[in-house]
Amino acid sequence: MNRRVSAMARVTGVVAAALFTVAYASGTATAAAPVKEPASTPVNVVLVEGQTYSYVLNVKQANPGQMMLAERAVTDAGGVVVQSWPQIGVVVAHSTHVTFKADVMKLAKGNSVVSIGLTRGVPVIEGTPTGTGPTGNGAIGKGQLGAITAMSIGDDQILSVVPDPFESPYQWDMTMIRADQAHEITDGSPTVLVGVLDSGIDGDHVDLASQIDRADSVNCTIAGVPDTSPQGWYPTSSPHGTHVAGTIAAARNGIGMVGVAPAVKLASIKVVNDDGWIYPEYAICGFVWAGLHGVDVTNNSYYIDPFEYWCSDQPDQAAVKEAVRRAVDFSTAQGAVHAAAAGNSSTDLANKTIDAGSPDDWATPVVRTINNGCQDIPSELPGVVTVSSITQDSLLSAFSSRGLNVVDVAAPGQQIASTYPGGRWVYMSGTSMASPHVAGVLALMKSAHPNWTPAQMEKAIETQAIDLPCPATAIGGAACVGTTAKNSYYGEGIVNALAAVQP
């Protein structure tokens, strides 16, 4: 895919650093040694002295003393503390020094920093926000604007403009997941808040204007620092988040379409910048924000750049995975349950071998060997409901990734009618379109069962799913394996809105 790439290699005075090259201690013990797999291929970034790069640091324990020691190591190494997240023990830092990583690890007192990793394959394009520091709440401006040519959230296609109103017959997807039957019981509760981690939501769209919780919306794309200005969390160059939002909660107002949970509220949590990137510090900000602001459900129709698969046997990539995992776990502990797209690469996520598209912020990505310790994040992290895409004929979409014991449930994701910036409605396709159906069902479930925990909801969304057997022939790649009750294409089956709202 075409991406914006910095011309870092043309500058003299360069060094090579391993981007994300075995994993550090994360505090989680494993009961048995994993099956030995081929090591993943290291990816080296050529760092240029004087250009700004972004890093995440993970402290040993999330407490004020350790955070202070980590922040001091950053400044002593000539870096800038851009954002600190004491809730999860993560610091986002910028530096122009090619020795920054090594210097931080030498300077960190008391082994306070357990890992540090580059978050991008190129220098920072938005600059270092001014007025930030340990509290991370300084004055910030608007990021650099640019045209999106492709997004890692998938090759979603605008198929046609849809007239209104069209709850029937255009919304075949709602019938498939039994949302129309669920709506006879409830449209959901306005006390339930869904965080749409995406490219922003058009808050002026007639089907969405009444649905957005503006006070809890945020832009995280300026180096991972929260920006609550309304112009920040609106979409600027991508319609993706607006389309996702409509599937979840477009209003029942007699105009246009109706979402899966039309009475719940939406928070626009912008994690896709104006050039189409979803860098780790953006997603970390989004998940922590969701946890701090009472979000009940998050939707994640993307993978985190610049790697489609982040490998645990590469130290920088492992450090980023740990930071994102901490952010996801924090929001889960605060009560949020998460839905995420399985991806549009038609990959068997349970049997990974090659990744030919990463780092995707390079002009020419590396064809690299990967293993099952290389994961699509956040969708493959614990506590996240991973969603594959199916067609109107209840078949796996050819583009959809799959994987036994990786995909949890399936949902409609092909030719899905939903909201679009500028007061329009269009069809779009992708696992990006499947995941918000699950987020909407989780929102209905939370409305009907307000005391259920994220773990209870995750279990229920799987056990209530409508069984869907493997097709007779393979679709788009690896053959379907497993049983009718659980297989590599559909997980536990098609998500079931009606069951979600029943006692």
Give yes or no: residues 344 and 436 share one domain. yes
The answer to whether position 144 is within a domain reads no
Q: What is the mean pLDDT of the chain?
A: 88
As a whole number, mean pLDDT of residues 403-411 equals 98
pLDDT band at 29 (very low <50, low <70, confident <90, very high): very low
The reported pLDDT for the residue numbered 33 is 52
The answer to whether position 202 is within a domain reads yes
Q: Is a pLDDT exceeding 50 seen at residue 123?
A: yes
Which residue did the predictor score with more confidence, 389 or 36? 389
pLDDT band at 34 (very low <50, low <70, confident <90, very high): low
Give yes or no: residues 105 and 182 share one domain. no
Q: For helices 431-448 and 454-463, what crossing angle results, to 10°?
A: 110
* Residue (of 281, 159, 259, 155) closest to 201 by Cα position: 259
The answer to whether position 126 is within a domain reads no
* Residue (of 270, 258, 257) closest to 302 by Cα position: 270
As a whole number, mean pLDDT of residues 108-122 equals 94
As a whole number, mean pLDDT of residues 468-490 equals 97
Alpha-carbon Rg for the chain in angstroms: 21
Q: Are 381 and 324 in contact (CB under 8 A)?
A: yes
The reported pLDDT for the residue numbered 378 is 98
The reported pLDDT for the residue numbered 37 is 81
Give yes or no: residues 114 and 184 share one domain. no
Q: Is a pLDDT exceeding 80 seen at residue 390?
A: yes
Give yes or no: residues 87 and 202 share one domain. no
Give yes or no: residues 89 and 188 share one domain. no
Domain of 69 in residue numbering reads as 8-118
The reported pLDDT for the residue numbered 111 is 84
The tens digit of pLDDT for each residue in 39-95 reads 999 999 999 999 999 999 999 999 999 999 999 999 999 999 999 999 999 999 999
pLDDT band at 162 (very low <50, low <70, confident <90, very high): low
The tens digit of pLDDT for each residue in 491-502 reads 999 999 999 999
Q: What is the 3-state secondary structure (H, E, C) of 148-186?
A: CCCCCCCCCCCCCECCCCCCCCCCHHHHHCCHHHHCCCC
How many domains are there within the chain?
A: 2
The answer to whether position 138 is within a domain reads no
> What is the C-alpha to C-alpha distance for residues 158 and 228, in angstroms, rounded to an integer?
30
pLDDT > 90: what percent of the chain? 82
Q: Is a pLDDT exceeding 90 seen at residue 170?
A: no
**Among the three residues 118, 153, 182, which one is the final residue of a domain in this structure?**
118
As a whole number, mean pLDDT of residues 110-130 equals 93
pLDDT band at 155 (very low <50, low <70, confident <90, very high): very low
As a whole number, mean pLDDT of residues 363-380 equals 97
Residue 62 maps to which CATH number?
3.30.70.80
Residue 434 maps to which CATH number?
3.40.50.200
Give yes or no: residues 313 and 384 share one domain. yes
Q: Is a pLDDT exceeding 90 seen at residue 141?
A: no
The answer to whether position 165 is within a domain reads no
Which residue did the predictor score with more confidence, 18 or 419? 419
> What is the C-alpha to C-alpha distance for residues 248 and 142, in angstroms, rounded to an integer?
28
The answer to whether position 132 is within a domain reads no
Dihedral pair phi/psi, residue 386, rounded to 5°: -95, 130
As a whole number, mean pLDDT of residues 297-310 equals 98
The answer to whether position 130 is within a domain reads no
Give yes or no: residues 245 and 106 share one domain. no
Contacts of 35 (CB under 8 A, 6+ apart): none
**Among the three residues 118, 134, 151, which one is the final residue of a domain in this structure?**
118
The tens digit of pLDDT for each residue in 187-232 reads 999 999 999 999 999 999 999 999 999 999 999 999 999 999 989 9
pLDDT band at 435 (very low <50, low <70, confident <90, very high): very high
Q: Is a pLDDT exceeding 70 seen at residue 109?
A: yes
Give the rounded distance of the alpha carbon of 142 from its chain centre: 22
**Stretch (H or E) spanning 282:** helix 280-292
Q: Are 200 and 270 in contact (CB under 8 A)?
A: yes
As a whole number, mean pLDDT of residues 105-128 equals 94
Give yes or no: residues 183 and 110 share one domain. no
Strands 337-341 and 14-19: unpaired
| Secondary structure of residue 490 in the 3-state scheme | coil
Give yes or no: residues 97 and 189 share one domain. no
